[in-house]
Amino acid sequence: MCISSSVVVGNLGLIGEDKCRGMMAKESTPTITTTTTPHFCRRRLLLGFVVLGIFYGLIIVDAATTTTTTTTSVENNGKPISRISFGSCSNQTAPQPIWDAVLRFDPDLFIWLGDNIYADSKKPRKFTGKGRNSGPWKNTPRFFQVTAAEMEHQYQLMKNVSGYVKLREQTEVIGTWDDHDFGLNDAGKELEGKQTSQKLMLDFLDEPLDSPRRRQEGVYTSYTYGPAGKQIKVILLDTRYHRDPIGSDGTMLGDAQWQWFENELRNSSAQIHIIGSSIQVVANFSAMSQPFFSVESWNLFPKERMKLYDLLQETNVSGVMFISGDVHFCEIARYDCGLSYPLYDFTSSGITQGVEELAPPPLSYILAFAAWITPNTLRVYNPRCRYHSCVYGKQNFGGLEINWDADPVAINVDIRDVHGVPVLGTSFTLNELQPGYQRVQPPQHGQVQRHCTLEIELPWHQRYLLAILFFGTLNVCGGLILIYLVIGTISVVKRRSTQKPKPD
């Protein structure tokens, strides 16, 4: 309902009652010690309360049926928080030693970024034949949904992991979801049963039963922490519930979530805005990994990503940082041509699902080499990276530290391994995330500019370098094998010709 209940109370209740009291005062006489209400005032008050009762009845019905116009927005104006950890991609049936490192980091807040469990099931990989479910030429889905009861069981397994139990006892835990806890790999708004998935996910996060987040369509929400002047606003987006099919360049968030998101930005007084997206916003590894595989990102919806940047520019908010998951490795990306200050995207994935650990040894080495050789214009390269590629494909979590007492306020972000040791990171001041901090001229057509040129805009021979190397290697190996066979055949023929018996 759009009408405020306070307006109705004022118009029907309080104003009518005051007028009647005025009339009663005028009609009373000094000889009468008790005042009586005239009949028409009684009727007017009675009518007011009847209408008010009807209105509140409509409010209750409307609240029970409305699903897209309200959402949770929690404020905690206590002491400022200075340590936040985040992560994604946790297989509830796999060993999870990383929680010990998260606990030693001692965060004030932990943020789930999706794939908090793996609720869907999958078939064995098959690269050839009619039922190909993997590789660039797959023709059938590999993943399929499970029942609600099975999903609930998987959440319970995750909730009972000992390290995670300890974390929940000492740290506030919030989060959003991605595809595997939404219900199906790469799924969007077409998924059946997503309402049940939402309920189970909110149960997992101990969302109050009366939370508006349980009545809306989608799990997006926001939280504000800290006193004025030292406030952090965490905005968690839902990139699944309303997302159009991949390749459609349609909507990522849906109209209602976009409207809510704009309102959250315009009405924020926070100094730092941490925007959680289950998929990468700035980075776009898929631009260089074709045709072998691709990962989801906002780049697959270029109009939506441009709308996101435009909204941040229009609302003029400060201190924006993205945190993301999904890809089974970690990296830091930076984009200097979106706003008038750098946009960072800190990707941490995963709690258990590290791509180099999931792949068998020969393939894991190939993946590490591919990460190093693949050109990337937006990735942050610095001496703090453990490997030259500045990518880490093993178990990891993110750690964000804010020194509010420093002048200017100092921010440090690390991605840490299973032992809590940083594997990559970067530092900057809050002054560097203020509108107008920098003015970067976009590159001219054909030019490549670090932290400004998108990977999709790279020349084709750079964008497909991985494919060129792969098929080139196959051709060279195939050619060497062919040469070896030809030489071997010639040698055999010569040997046989020399061994022919001489005629008598």
Strand 221-225, strand 73-76: pairing: parallel
HEC per residue, 469-495: HHHHHHHHHHHHHHHHHHHHHHHHHHH
Give which of 277, 242, 276, 274 is closest to 259, Cα–Cα: 242
The DSSP result for 301-366, as a single string, is SHHHHHHHHHHHHHHT-SSEEEEE--SSSBEEEEESSSSSS-EEEEE---SS--HHHHS-HHHHHH
Q: Can you give the pLDDT at residue 51?
A: 34
pLDDT over 70 for what percent of the chain? 84
Burial of 346 (0-12, 13-18, 19+ CB in 10 A): buried
Per-residue model confidence (pLDDT) at position 454: 84
The per-residue pLDDT of the chain, averaged, comes to: 84
Helices H, strands E: what count in the chain?
Answer: 15, 15
Average pLDDT over residues 458-478: 81
pLDDT in tens, 303-329: 999 999 999 999 999 999 999 999 999
Q: Which residue has the higher pLDDT, 57 or 473?
A: 473
Mean pLDDT (whole number) for 325-338: 95
Looking at the predicted structure, is the pLDDT value of residue 182 above 90? yes
SS3 labels along 192-211: CCHHHHHHHHHHHCCCCCCC
Can you give the pLDDT at residue 503? 60
Residue 167 — very low, low, confident or very high, per pLDDT cuts 50/70/90?
very high
Q: Could you give the CA distance from residue 137 to residue 179 in angstroms, rounded to a whole number?
A: 22
**Nearest Cα residue to 201 out of 116, 279, 143, 110:** 116
Query: Looking at residues 25-37, what average pLDDT do you find?
Result: 35
pLDDT: which is higher, 460 or 84: 84
Residue 502: per-residue pLDDT: 58
The pTM score is: 0.81
Q: Tell me what pLDDT residue 246 has.
A: 92
Dihedral sign, CA of 181, 143, 279, 364?
A: positive
How far apart, in whole angstroms, are the C-alpha atoms of residue 218 and residue 260? 12
State the virtual CA torsion across 206, 210, 216, 222 in degrees, nearest 10: -60
Kind plus residue range of the DSSP H or E element containing 158 = helix 148-159
| Mean pLDDT on 492-502 | 75
Residue 122: what pLDDT?
Answer: 82
pLDDT band of 473, cuts 50, 70, 90: confident
Mean of pLDDT values over 463-485: 85
Nearest by Cα to 67 from 300, 296, 292, 260: 260
Of 339, 110, 333, nearest to 223 by C-alpha is 110
Over range 40-60, report the average pLDDT: 37
Among residues of the chain, what percentage have pLDDT more than 90? 62
CATH class of 73-458: alpha beta
Q: Span 93-97, mean pLDDT? A: 97
Q: What is the pLDDT of residues 372-428, one digit of tens each?
A: 888 789 999 999 999 999 999 999 999 999 999 999 999 999 999 999 999 999 999
Least confident of 61-70, 111-120, 208-217, 361-370: 61-70
Of residues 229 and 504, more confidence is placed in: 229
157-180 average pLDDT score: 98
Q: How confident is the model at residue 62 (pLDDT cuts 50, 70, 90)?
A: very low
pLDDT at residue 500, rounded to an integer: 60
Confidence of residue 72 (pLDDT cuts 50, 70, 90): low
In this model, does residue 297 exceed pLDDT 50?
yes
Residues 6+ apart with CB under 8 A from 191: 145, 182, 183, 184, 197, 240
Q: Give the span between the Cα atoms of 115 and 365, in whole angstroms.
A: 25
Measured over the CA atoms of residue 172, residue 178, residue 179 and residue 183, the dihedral's sign is positive
Confidence band of 367 (pLDDT split at 50, 70, 90): confident
Per the model's pLDDT, the better-predicted residue between 22 and 283 turns out to be 283
pLDDT, one tens digit per residue, over 262-287 is 999 999 999 999 999 999 999 887 67
User: Which one is predicted more confidently, 465 or 480?
Assistant: 480
pLDDT surpassing 50 at residue 452? yes
Q: How many residues does the chain have?
A: 504
Among residues 442, 461, 460, which one has the least CA distance to residue 452? 442
Structure confidence at residue 65 (pLDDT): 34
